[in-house]
Every structure is written in structure tokens, then in C-alpha cells.
Structure 1
Amino acid sequence: MINIAERHQYILHRIQAEGSVDVQVLCKELDVSSVTIRKDLKLLEDKKLLFRTHGGATLNNPYTVDRPVNEKEELQSSEKLRIAATAAQLVKDNDSIIIASGTTVLALARAIKPQGNLTVITSALNVALELIRHDNIDVIQLGGLLRKSSASVTGPYSDNILSNVFCSKLFLGVDGIDLEFGLTTTNAFEAQLNKQMMDASQKVIVLADSTKFGKRGFGKICGIEEVDHVITDSGVSPQILQQLESLGIEVSIV
């Protein structure tokens, strides 16, 4: 049996080569228990050599942080524009939709050019300001506590509106997508509002660039199985795509 130093060297070699490791795979390869591997991963995390995740570890920090909306808008901007253009094609004349908050759904609001009438419910002030420029779009702005970092509202004041409507689609932006943990955002109150939006929608469409996969935010929105459609970019791994499709989730790659 190899010693602890050799195990650690093996784990670090694997994670540097592949980006992530799985506890059960390491158990078989090193012929040790899962308890031993988990202790090894904790020691390596304490040395800031990796980040532990559910069932394994990764080189990339899986935890998202709240950033100002103007800062987030600069990240993966070209991918967001392509995702938004694809999502805009799903908006039909005389549709009633919900648009949540985030920079990717803000890009969607800018891409929407309806020929007929459209009703949009949104929690995001910047989304509402983009859409009111169109004479044929009726915008319903949800109320609540304004989050400066996201330019959107949270809290119970939106309950009354959302409990009395039903829309064809929810376009949802997220801070993290973990196939085991689900969809997350950095704010628990925003996560709760997103859940209510889902209840008021026939179809849930997630707009997320590939950097959001494998990340977790503080507030859980829902399990991945509750999503109908994901629109993302080509940076997402084939393994993730396969897992999404195996769950019956439609995936569009831009």
C-alpha cells in the first residue's frame, strides 16, 4: 500500500491533468477507503491545493461570489450575446413571459424585437428599462427590496402578482449550475423569487454561459431536473451535455 505522501502526489497529478477527481474512482485506483480519500482531500484543501466538491474535488473554485451587475456584464460578453440571440427566437407574438435578473437575461431583453404584442413580467429594473422602449411590449415590474448589485428586486411583495398569473416561459439566469446540487444564485431571497417564477411558468429556460457549470451559489433555486431547456455556449463539456440530455433537458449550443 502506498503511503500518504504518495497518495497526495497521485491525487494532485490526476487533478492537474483532468481538472477534477472523483472520490470513488480514487478509492479503486489507490485501493483505499472513501474515508481515507476524503481525509486526503481535506488536507490538500487546507493547503489550498484544490477545492472539495460533492463526491470529489476540483482545481477551480466552485463557489460563486456576488459581483456588481456592471462588472458581470463584461464577463463572457460575446457568449452572452449569442445565447441571448438564440433565446430571443423563442419569444412569440402575443406571448406572456417572465424574465428574471442577471446580465445574460439583460442581453435577451436587448435582443427581443417582437412584431406582435408581448407581455413581460420581470424583477429586474434594467430589463424593464430596455423593454419599455417598445410600444408593443407591456412590462409588469415586480416590487420589493432593490438589490443594488443586481439591479433587481427580492422579497415577498412579488408574491401577489406571481400567484395570480401563468406565463408560457421563464427565462432564468443563474450564478451556478451543479448537476448534483442544482441551480443556484448568490442571494437566498433571489433564489426564492426564482422558485415562485418557476411556479408561474409553463416552461423554464435557463440562459447560462459555460463558466457557470460546476459552480454553486449560496441560494438554491431548484434541482436540475426541473429545467426544460438550457441555452449555453460551446465551452460546456461533452459529459455535461450528455448528462443534461439524459435527464430529458433540451440543450441549445451557440
Structure 2
Amino acid sequence: MSVLSLTDRHQFIINKLQETGSVSVVELSKELNVSAVTIRKDLELLEGKKLLYRNHGGATYTDPYITDRHVKDKLFLHEPEKERIGRLAAQLIQPNDCILIASGTTVYYFAKNINPTETLTVVTPGLNVALELNQYSNIEVIQLGGIMRKTSSSVTGAYAESILKDFSFSKLFLGVDGIDPEFGLSTTNMMEAQLNKKMIEASQKTIVLADSSKFGKKGFGKICDLSAVQQIITDSNAPAHLLTRLQEMGIDVKIADATKV
């Protein structure tokens, strides 16, 4: 590609962001045949015009940083997608399973779709998950104890973490606030992130349930690198380039398609 003018270069960057959702300094430098220093200056100017958000090594089209919101506000966001993800995830439960269900609205939709024909043992920090599953006579529910977070109606803290040492689970169904290829999984609360880490350690398999809005986002508290994840279930609106990267990392990605679930 011949060297473009400043205006054309900026338009190229914006077009690519609209197409892929994110760009990197290295890739833009090669594609536009200019130095990395020039690209960083371009990104700085475009961020000043509120056209993108810079991050380490590049930029994103939308703000990657998430603030904490009350569970009541999040429950009906992307509801159809969460419902389909929940139905698909419920198919993974085996007879006489012992599973761990974390907190969050997507895992709540998962809990609503659980109706096992045989016995099931569930441990959870989420009060809404525990109450939803407690109606079934063949599901034994163990509610973790600890400090109740008012915004999420779930517990966190050292006591909840210590209880997990006495259990071993076949699967962890984990909800997150952000999935970023470099930063990993994250949530808006650091104590919740710490509890989630302990849940991963106690489980043989970690299954992330996340609608497409969580991709390319970052919460304050890092849970883990993506290398700790075996499977992600999301919806068909998830960015294809990020799903490809996840699959290249060896993560099994399942799409809860409206026509199939």
C-alpha cells in the first residue's frame, strides 16, 4: 500500500475498527507502511476526538472498561441471548453431577434451564441461583457463606473461599464481565474475582457463559488468563476474529444459535 495522507490514514483506521472492533499498532504499521510512532500519534488524535479507545498495543472501537451495575439492571440486558446460552449449557450436565455455579445474570438463566432427571449437587455463591434450584427435590443445593454483595446478591470473602477446599467439582459454570485475549477473564469486583479463582482451582473443567457484549471488555478484577478456560458458550453476535483467537488457544467455543437451541 502506498503512503496515505493523514486524513485517509485516519479513515482507514476507523473503517477497520468498525469492521473488526479492535486494531493493533503493529498490524496498522505494516498495512499503512508507516512507523509505529506515527500510528500511536494517529490513535492518540483519534482518541482525543472520541472516535476510539486506546489500549496496550492498539485501540478498540468501544470503551473496554466496565463499571459495576446492579444485578436487577443487568438481568434483562441481552435476555434472549442469555436464555439460549443457558439452555445450551444445561445440556452439559451429566447424571449425578457435582457442579459449581458462579454468580451473575447469565448463569442465572443457566440455572433456570436446569431440570435434571437424576440427582444433581450444586454449590454456588449466588443467592438467586440457590433459590431457583432449591425448588427441585433431586437437586442438593449448597449455598456458600460470606459477605453478601448488595449489587450482585452473591457472597464473596475468605469464608466462601475456604469452604471450596472441601469439595471437588466436575464443572464450573462461570459468568464474567469481560473477556479479553490479552487480559483474560475479569469482573468488576476484586473480591468476586478472587473467589472465582478459587472456584477454578476446585473444578476439573471451567465453562464460561458469556453473551457477545462481554468480548473485548475488561473489569477491574482479573480472574484468570484464558489458558485456564476449557470452554466458552456465547451467542452468534460474538466477534468472529476474537472467537477465532480463542479457538487457536485451544478453547472449545460453542455458539447458542437461535435456530438450533
Q: Normalised by the size of structure 1, how large is the TM-score?
A: 0.93
1:109 alignment partner AA: A
Following TM superposition, by how much is the alpha carbon of 1:250 offset from its aligned partner in structure 2, in angstroms? 1.2
Identify if the C-alpha distance between structure 1 residues 48 and 231 changes in structure 2 by more than 3 Å, giving closer, same or farther: same
| RMSD of equivalent CA atoms | 1.8
Q: Secondary structure at the match of 2:205?
A: strand
1:68 alignment partner AA: H
Partner of 1:113: 115
Q: Secondary structure at the match of 2:72?
A: helix
Partner of 2:58: 56
Structure 1: gaps (5+ residues): none
Whole-angstrom distance in 1 between the partners of 2:205 and 2:29:
41
Whole-angstrom distance in 2 between the partners of 1:18 and 1:65:
24
Whole-angstrom distance in 2 between the partners of 1:46 and 1:221:
31
Following TM superposition, by how much is the alpha carbon of 1:103 offset from its aligned partner in structure 2, in angstroms? 0.5
Q: Secondary structure at the match of 1:198?
A: helix
Percent identical residues: 58
Structure 2: gaps (5+ residues): 257-261
Identify if the C-alpha distance between structure 1 residues 29 and 89 changes in structure 2 by more than 3 Å, giving closer, same or farther: closer
Following TM superposition, by how much is the alpha carbon of 1:5 offset from its aligned partner in structure 2, in angstroms? 5.5
Following TM superposition, by how much is the alpha carbon of 1:233 offset from its aligned partner in structure 2, in angstroms? 0.9
Whole-angstrom distance in 1 between the partners of 2:9 and 2:116:
59
2:227 alignment partner AA: E
Following TM superposition, by how much is the alpha carbon of 1:9 offset from its aligned partner in structure 2, in angstroms? 4.6
Offset from partner CA, 1:196-237 (integer Å, 9 cap, x none): 000000000000111111111111111111101111111123
Whole-angstrom distance in 1 between the partners of 2:20 and 2:93:
39
| Correspondent of 2:234 among 226, 232, 247 | 232
Deviates more, 1:184-193 or 1:22-31: 22-31
Whole-angstrom distance in 2 between the partners of 1:13 and 1:137:
51
Q: Normalised by the size of structure 2, how large is the TM-score?
A: 0.91
Whole-angstrom distance in 2 between the partners of 1:185 and 1:168:
23
Following TM superposition, by how much is the alpha carbon of 1:55 offset from its aligned partner in structure 2, in angstroms? 2.3
| Correspondent of 2:158 among 123, 135, 156 | 156
* 1:171-190 map, 5 Å: 171-190=173-192
Identify if the C-alpha distance between structure 1 residues 131 and 46 changes in structure 2 by more than 3 Å, giving closer, same or farther: same
| Correspondent of 1:253 among 234, 252, 255 | 255
